[in-house]
Structure 1
Amino acid sequence: MGRIDARAFFARSALEQPCDLYARMRELAPVCAIGDTGAYLVSTHAAIEDAVARQDEFSANLRRVLLSTGAEPPRLIPMQLEEGGLDVIATADDPAHSVHRRLMMPSLKASRIAALEEEMRAFARERVDALRRAGGGDFCAALGEPLPAWVVLRMLDLGDDALEAIRRWAMMGGDILAGRLDSARMSFLMHEAAEQFRYLAAHLDELRARPAAQRGQSLSATLAEGVDQERVSREEAIGILSILFSAAGESTAGLLGSATRLLASDPALQQRLRDEPSLIPRFVEEANRLETPFKFHYRSVQRRTQLCGTELVEGDVLLLCWAAANRDPQRWDAPDALRLDRARPERHLGFGHGIHYCVGAPLARLEVKVALEELLAGTRELRLDETTPPAHVPSIMVRRLAQLHLLVR
């Protein structure tokens, strides 16, 4: 069985550039132990396909997560929120998962998503114009984080004055699962998560107090109806709204920031996409493959079993590492290269795989495409500001830039 020192998994170099560590672990074993923690990284495309097909053995329920405080060896700790800790959508198994997914689908159908594009484009264009007039700035603060937060606001029919709170809460999920928190910071984040839960509870309760005909057609309204019909509990509905913040907010912000960094780092690629904007969707897929926003998702081992020859016992934890599998040389030619001519560029694992495949993938694709189209159309040149290098949030789970300072003209 392959095994690495658990401390190497939390090293700053591994958090900033994890692909080298993932490649080493993949060479050791497709299911590689992270020290003696009871956690295992699943790093190949084939192993992940096997794992997601065995829901009865590998549950999506979030029970324990990896943590390293620095003072103690890395370990698995129980995952418990003060409020809103139910398993929903990404952390729910069937049959509950399918119920949640069906409730969300009407709000995420193609016509609803397309109806957002004009407003989405206007929002992005205004932010790009401001960035260009200023000669540059932090892309994450200017557009990378506000756009996904604005989309969440529209999807849930929240007030415009809530945009900053939504942005803050949307970026918080990765902090909770970052794996490098002291107890004080973890306690603060758990409290913030509970505050978010109470805010969304008030929003849902206010909707439910209205006559059905006056609720509108937002995802919040659909969930309110689901509670009324007893398809989901009130707590489940609030949990779904809460998880949407991270799923639709932070992950899209991560992808948009990474895609923009790739463009700003490669003048030839940037010019090619200016000349051939029809290639932007292909570029979005490659950016998602190479810089996967959620590096992995957890699975809880339900009973003694094995995966790709690695023996597992009840209580062990798998990390289904989409980011590692997206660079698996058994699956991809030239896996570390950005290529716009791949036959099926969308067949990566950047949006997950199996029954938990991201329900909002079409919306995320549209957001990033629109933002990049407006960024390239509204500027002549993007360059990295070398006085302030890009920096990622220090998270084992999330691949998102905390800052991306650009020079723009």
Structure 2
Amino acid sequence: MATAATVIEKDYFTDHSVLLDPYDYFESIRAHGPVHQMAGRDVLVITGFAEAVEVLLNKRDFSSWLNPDPLVALPFELSGNDISALLDANPSGEMELMVSYDGDKHLAARSLLNPLFVPSRLKANEAFMRAYADDMVQRVVAAGGCELVNEVATPFVTMVIADLLGVPADDRETFRNLIDSGPPPGNMDAADSPQSIHPLMVMAGYFARYIGERRAAPQDDVMTEMAMAKYPDGSTPDMMEVVKSAMFLFAAGQDTSAKLIGNALRRLCEDQDMQQQLREDRKLIGPFLEEVLRLEGSTKATFRIAARDTAIGDMDIPAGKRVVISLSAANRDPRRWDDPAEFRLGRPRIKEHVAFGRGAHTCAGAPLARAEVAVILDRFLEHTSAITLDEAHHGPAGARRVSYEPSYIIRGLADLHVKFTPA
């Protein structure tokens, strides 16, 4: 068994043993305080809930420029106590994404997503996702089992976001294959190399065509609303900004939501009493999902760089310091949560977790993610009397064998083989 000293010395960005249990790794860091220097890298790790929220809300002193690649080389020399102008002047990568924007630029880009999340639109989309989920679930339950992540979760969330955006049916499978063939975000196997964005570059060509077509000939769909949208100041966005907003939502949303479905179903498989409790009272699905998000959310970390000399708590932080905000560790901080490693249905103030971030960069797709996962869980519970892990693939209780996608950003099972007893 690894000692605390050997655990803390592991490289979070490349060590696959951290994949299986990142919580043990973060707890070994927490023992040294809520903000701690990572071993072997010039990076601070935040495990404290209050400190994580403090940094996530501090848009002035901490920039999102590093996302989604916290190890990217700075294109300038560090000097002085304020590098905010240098960060503003330099793109963070070959294709700069909304997740790395700051300030007014970020607010403007976020405004392009507003048409997606009006209540009437989400309600209409929920009707679609419920019917689609029902068909998928009935098919795999009739078969007696499935590999959940790739056979159900990923195609389901891909179809939902494609339907919401108005991606043509013929292109949806192409996008799924592109995303599947590319490396995961935060690829641990190439952490110190520039992160590949090849799938996004290919998808950008498709989305540019969609947006161009809708600007030329508007249709009655969300993509048209995005194509015709104005920024809050009344100006017209550059077409590439609209393309990147739509494409990023599609790519990022389908990955994290699919992994959340896998994490939630595994939890239900491992706790048959809770599974039956939810089957008998579906109103508990919402509180159940919030506790899954706290305890096993699909985003482990987000990243910041100090734009100027500042502080976190009583620790001085120099301009240019890289920061890993461990969302999963903040959500298990014993100073904030009683018995944080315990799964508690109906935990008080549960929605204060930071699984979707906090502040300006709170996940834009959080309402959709919650709806997607709740709908498909409801359908699984409706059509089964029991859902269990397939022990031929995952081993018996107490000796489970599971594998995770090799990512330092995403917490998601590579596969989950389940068996169903029909209702």
Query: The residue matched to 1:391 in structure 2 has which SS?
Result: coil
Partner of 1:27: 31
Partner of 2:14: 10
Query: The residue matched to 1:339 in structure 2 has which SS?
Result: coil
Distance (Å, rounded) in 1 between the aligned partners of 2:327 and 2:378: 27
Distance (Å, rounded) in 2 between the aligned partners of 1:310 and 1:173: 39
> Does residue 1:125 correspond to 2:125, yes or no?
no
Query: The residue matched to 2:229 in structure 1 has which SS?
Result: helix
Partner of 2:414: 402
CA deviation string 1:328-356 (max 9, x = no partner): 11111111111112122222111110121
Identify the match of residue 297 of structure 1 among 295, 302, 307. 302
Partner of 1:47: 51
Instruction: Return the offset for 1:174.
Output: 7.0
Distance (Å, rounded) in 1 between the aligned partners of 2:411 and 2:300: 6
Q: Which amino acid aligns with 2:215?
A: R
Identify the match of residue 63 of structure 2 among 37, 45, 59. 59
Once superposed, what is the RMSD of the aligned Cα atoms?
2.5
Give the fraction of aligned pairs with identical amino acids, expressed as a percent: 29
Q: How does 1:217-256 map to 2 (within 5 A)?
A: 217-218=221-222, 220-226=223-229, 230-256=235-261
CA deviation string 1:37-79 (max 9, x = no partner): 222211111101211232121101236835xxxxxxxx65469
Identify the match of residue 96 of structure 2 among 70, 76, 86. 86
> Does residue 1:202 correspond to 2:209, yes or no?
yes
Q: Which runs of 5+ in 1 are unaligned?
A: 67-74
Instruction: Return the offset for 1:102.
Output: 2.4
Instruction: Return the offset for 1:29.
Output: 2.2
Instruction: Return the offset for 1:4.
Output: 4.0
Distance (Å, rounded) in 2 between the aligned partners of 1:154 and 1:44: 38
Identify the match of residue 281 of structure 1 among 286, 303, 306. 286
Query: The residue matched to 1:28 in structure 2 has which SS?
Result: coil
Instruction: Return the offset for 1:115.
Output: 0.8
Q: 1:134 to 1:81 in 2, by over 3 A?
A: farther
CA deviation string 1:266-298 (max 9, x = no partner): 111111111111101111101111111111111
Instruction: Return the offset for 1:264.
Output: 1.0
Q: Which amino acid aligns with 1:366?
A: A
TM-score (norm 2): 0.86
Partner of 1:69: none
Contact 1:149 1:170 in 2 (8 A): no
Greater alpha carbon shift after TM alignment, 147-156 vs 171-180:
171-180
Q: Which amino acid aligns with 2:160?
A: V
Q: How does 1:134-283 map to 2 (within 5 A)?
A: 134-169=143-178, 175-181=184-190, 189-210=196-217, 214-218=218-222, 220-226=223-229, 230-283=235-288
Q: 1:183 to 1:330 in 2, by over 3 A?
A: closer
TM-score (norm 1): 0.88
Q: Which runs of 5+ in 2 are unaligned?
A: 75-90, 395-401
Distance (Å, rounded) in 2 between the aligned partners of 1:22 and 1:269: 28
Q: 1:154 to 1:344 in 2, by over 3 A?
A: same
Distance (Å, rounded) in 2 between the aligned partners of 1:206 and 1:215: 9
Distance (Å, rounded) in 2 between the aligned partners of 1:243 and 1:203: 15
Contact 1:388 1:405 in 2 (8 A): yes
Contact 1:6 1:37 in 2 (8 A): no
Query: The residue matched to 1:319 in structure 2 has which SS?
Result: strand
Residue-pair matches, total: 391
Distance (Å, rounded) in 2 between the aligned partners of 1:208 and 1:163: 21
Contact 2:357 2:363 in 1 (8 A): yes
Instruction: Return the offset for 1:116.
Output: 1.1
Q: Which amino acid aligns with 1:408?
A: F
Distance (Å, rounded) in 2 between the aligned partners of 1:316 and 1:30: 16
Q: 1:346 to 1:166 in 2, by over 3 A?
A: farther
Distance (Å, rounded) in 1 between the aligned partners of 2:337 and 2:62: 26
